[in-house]
């Protein structure tokens, strides 16, 4: 497996450190071409910690490095620098190629290095204010030369040079000191660290969903994206969590986590349960869960669609949940469902609304062309399904009155949805409290197929005809806006590109409707697209090229789950 650091950062399970190769732009920010050590802590005002250069200050060349799960190697003129993680907090650098870590302090406050000592052991403490972090460096072999100009409160520039000793090599450790740091008297073995990293990844890879041989290399990259995107508990994250990416989408969003939990559920039940609950750790008394969370802040301006009942049912199909887990899930899901019913039915018509496209997860879909609130059939369908799952779980828990209550509310919303949000057996969208019809060619309207057999036969038939026709289907999968639409954009976010969650939700419903052959056909297209373009956030629907964040975990997870479930 070879990692393209321009797309997939080199990192380690649990770590908030990552190494990326950047080419002039990163998340719409101009940056000098080269290799960078980065942080993914949510409190950092900048993710850039240091630029990694050769000893004479030259950028690492595009073809001058190679990386896989265990180590990153930089080579120049027959010499090399190797990097490997000893643990989540510690990155090791070993080699005979002199290297420089340029901490890019020009014009920045409070970025500087200073000497430290613990007994006979000497260290350099690197204070990086914009990263809200400190890093402790030690030369176990060779030496570190600090080049900086102190002006009384910060360094005008700060570069740390890694110099080999008389034997021709250096071994330098870089430890994150995010909160507290003490010298633990450790010496490091680089080869052992690389072997342990490889073994840790291989064990994780083996625990993920199995796939056909033709997709094995794609699945391996997908497993690495998931494994390396996990961070350890820190700050607001009280349990291990899989970020959406260690590029710039360094949060956990409140529907993305469901797909990642599903991928983990096959061989990592504890991690899967943690991933499912990570947003519910921040549930308000009203039942609301945040739009996203990282180690330093939750975001409550928006939310995400209530697919959690659907996800719980998928988890129950793979994992054996204890009665305690079922009770916990029931309490959290019933609070989340009641929040929608109590707080998001603004006109009291029995159907809930999105107050912004972001609430749906389809941020800029053409279903939101008119001023919200928006009444869309996907939201009603998710709530119908969630109430159906709540009834099932209540029954398992012996709460028969609660089971009957959720069944009644499920049926009431289902009937309301069918009456109001389908015209001539096809789904429609409305905007505003007065429910003005919105003309849209967005795939979001067809997400209610996730209800499967809970939909009337004629509605199933007509929706399937559209989904199997040429309105949305391309050579690579289901476009989120019909390519025939005048509002289609090749890189229009939710106005055209193919996305993992929309694909899986629709294929899951189609499988429930008996469309196995078609589901397999679209699954193969999706897997081949990921094999061609990586685990991108989304894809050009006509070319299959990867777009936006190129190491996105829900894409990796969906590929693994669909290839396992639909093709095995």
pLDDT at 271: 98
Task: Please name the helix (run of DSSP H) or strand (run of DSSP E) that holds residue 264, with its range, or none.
Answer: helix 256-264
Q: Looking at domain 208-567, does it have CATH number 1.10.645.10?
A: no
Contacts with 108 (C-beta within 8 Å, 6 or more apart), sequence order: 129, 130, 154
Q: Looking at domain 17-179+188-198, does it have CATH number 2.70.98.10?
A: yes
- What stretches of 120-194 adopt beta strand conformation (E)? 121-128, 133-141, 143-150, 155-163, 170-176
Cβ burial, residue 542 (10 Å; 0-12/13-18/19+):
middle
For residues 308 and 287, is the Cβ–Cβ distance under 8 A? Answer: no
> How crowded is residue 78: how many other Cβ atoms within 10 Å of its Cβ?
7
For residues 533 and 544, is the Cβ–Cβ distance under 8 A? Answer: yes
Task: Please name the helix (run of DSSP H) or strand (run of DSSP E) that holds residue 49, with its range, or none.
Answer: strand 48-54
For residues 200 and 527, is the Cβ–Cβ distance under 8 A? Answer: no
- Taking the C-alpha atoms of residue 442 and residue 139, their distance in angstroms, rounded to an integer, is 57
pLDDT digits (tens, 9 = 90+) for 3-47: 999 999 999 999 999 999 998 778 778 888 999 999 999 998 889
- Taking the C-alpha atoms of residue 275 and residue 149, their distance in angstroms, rounded to an integer, is 45
pLDDT at 155: 83
For residues 374 and 438, is the Cβ–Cβ distance under 8 A? Answer: yes
Contacts with 387 (C-beta within 8 Å, 6 or more apart), sequence order: 309, 337, 406, 407, 409, 410, 413
Residues of the chain with pLDDT under 70: 178-179
Q: Any idea how long the chain is?
A: 568
Task: Please name the helix (run of DSSP H) or strand (run of DSSP E) that holds residue 159, with its range, or none.
Answer: strand 155-163
75 secondary structure, DSSP code: E
Q: Which residues pair with 499 in a beta bridge?
A: none
pLDDT at 178: 66
- The pTM assigned to this predicted structure is 0.95
Tokens found for residue 173: 């450790």
- Taking the C-alpha atoms of residue 244 and residue 232, their distance in angstroms, rounded to an integer, is 14
State the SS3 of 92-129. Answer: EEEECCCEEEECCCCCCCCEEEEEEEECCEEEEEEEEH
**Torsions phi, psi of 112, nearest 5?**
-165, 170
Query: In 3-state terms, the chain is what percent helix, strand and coil (to 5)?
Result: 35, 25, 40
Is the omega angle on the peptide bond into residue 412 within 30 degrees of 0, that is, cis?
no
Sequence spans of domains, the chain: 17-179+188-198, 208-567
- Taking the C-alpha atoms of residue 552 and residue 550, their distance in angstroms, rounded to an integer, is 6
């Amino acid at each position: 497996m070879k990692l393209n650091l321009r797309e997939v950062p080199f990192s380690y399970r649990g770590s908030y450190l990552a190494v990326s190769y950047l080419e002039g732009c990163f998340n719409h920010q101009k940056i000098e071409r080269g290799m960078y050590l980065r942080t993914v802590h949510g409190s950092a005002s900048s993710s850039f910690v240091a630029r990694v250069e050769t000893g004479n200050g030259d950028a690492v060349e595009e073809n001058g490095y190679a990386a896989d799960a265990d180590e990153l190697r930089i080579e120049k003129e027959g010499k090399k620098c190797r990097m490997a993680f000893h643990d989540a907090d510690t990155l090791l650098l070993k080699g005979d190629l002199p290297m420089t870590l340029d901490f890019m302090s020009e014009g920045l406050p409070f970025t500087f290095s200073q000497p430290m000592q613990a007994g006979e052991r000497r260290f350099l403490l690197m204070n990086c204010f914009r990263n809200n972090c400190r890093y402790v460096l030690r030369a176990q072999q060779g030496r570190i030369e600090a080049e900086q100009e102190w002006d009384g409160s910060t360094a005008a520039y700060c570069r740390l040079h890694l110099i080999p000793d008389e034997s021709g090599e250096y071994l330098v450790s870089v430890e994150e000191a995010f909160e507290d740091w003490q010298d633990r008297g450790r010496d490091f073995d680089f080869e052992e660290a690389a072997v342990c990293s490889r073994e840790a990844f291989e064990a994780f890879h083996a625990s993920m969903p199995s796939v056909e041989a033709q997709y094995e290399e794609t699945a391996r990259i997908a497993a690495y994206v998931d494994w390396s995107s996990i961070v350890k508990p820190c700050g607001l994250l009280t349990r291990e969590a899989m970020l959406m990416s260690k590029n710039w989408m360094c949060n956990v969003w409140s529907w993305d986590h469901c797909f990642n939990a599903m991928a983990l559920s096959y061989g990592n039940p504890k991690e899967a349960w943690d991933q499912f609950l990570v947003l519910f750790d921040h549930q308000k008394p009203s039942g609301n869960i945040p739009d996203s969370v990282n180690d330093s802040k939750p975001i409550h301006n928006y939310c995400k669609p209530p697919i959690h009942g659907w996800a719980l049912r998928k988890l129950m199909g793979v994992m054996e949940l204890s009665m305690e887990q079922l009770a916990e899930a029931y309490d959290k899901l019933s609070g989340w469902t009641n929040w929608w019913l109590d707080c998001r039915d603004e006109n009291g018509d029995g159907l809930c609304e999105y107050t912004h496209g972001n609430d749906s997860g389809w941020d800029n879909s053409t279903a939101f062309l008119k001023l919200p609130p928006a009444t869309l059939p996907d939201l009603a369908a998710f709530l119908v399904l969630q109430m159906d799952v709540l009834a099932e779980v209540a029954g398992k828990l012996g709460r028969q009155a609660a089971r009957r209550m959720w069944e009644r509310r499920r049926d009431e919303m289902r009937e309301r949805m069918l009456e109001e949000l389908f015209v001539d057996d096809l789904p429609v969208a409305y905007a505003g409290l007065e429910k003005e019809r919105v003309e849209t060619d967005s795939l979001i309207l067809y997400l209610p197929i996730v209800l499967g057999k809970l939909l009337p036969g004629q509605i199933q038939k007509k929706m399937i005809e559209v989904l199997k026709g040429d309105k949305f289907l391309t050579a690579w999968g289901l476009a989120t806006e019909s390519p025939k639409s005048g509002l289609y954009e090749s890189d229009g976010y939710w106005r055209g590109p193919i996305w993992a969650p929309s694909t899986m939700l629709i294929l899951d419903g189609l499988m429930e409707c008996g469309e196995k052959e078609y589901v397999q056909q679209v699954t193969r297209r999706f897997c081949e697209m990921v094999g061609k373009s990586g685990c991108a956030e989304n894809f050009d629907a006509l070319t299959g090229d990867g777009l936006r964040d190129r190491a996105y975990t829900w894409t990796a997870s969906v590929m693994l789950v669909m290839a396992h479930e639909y093709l095995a």
